[in-house]
Structure 1
Amino acid sequence: MNIIKLKRYKQILIATLLLFSMVKSGAQDSQIPQGELSFYLKEVNSMLHVELFDNGSGETCFGAGVQYNYYVTRGLSFSGGLEYQPYRSKIILDDFTDSYSLIDSEGDDMIFRSSANLYRERHTVRMLNIPLLVQWETKGLSTSFFTATGIQLGIPLAANYKATVDGLETAGYFPQWDALLTSPRFMGFGEWDTQQSGKEKLKLKSSYSFLFELGIKQRLKNEFRHLYVSVYLELGLNDLKNEKNQQTLISYNVENPTDFHFSSVIYSYSQASGYNYVNKIKSQSVGFRIRYSFGW
Structure 2
Amino acid sequence: MHSALWWNDFEFSNGIVTVKKTGARLPIEPGLIGEVLSWFPFYFVVESWRLKTPSQTGPKIWFAPDRPRPWYLIWSVLHAAGASIARSPAQADVVFYFDDSTTCDDTPPPPGARVINQHCASIAKSHVTKVFEQVFGYSLSVDPSTWNGAMVMKSEKNGAHDGRIVHGPCEAVEGYVYQRVIDNRIDRGLVEDLRCPTIGGRIPLVLPKRRRVAERFSNSNDEVLICETDKVLSREEQDMLAKFTRAMGLDWGGLDVLRDRSDGRLYVVDVNKTDMGPPIAMSLDDKIRVTRRLADAFLEYLEASTSNARGLN
| TM-score of the pair, normalised by structure 2 | 0.21
Which of the pair has the greater relative contact order for Cα pairs under 8 Å at 6+ separation? 1
| Larger helix proportion of the pair | 2
The structure with more radius of gyration: 1
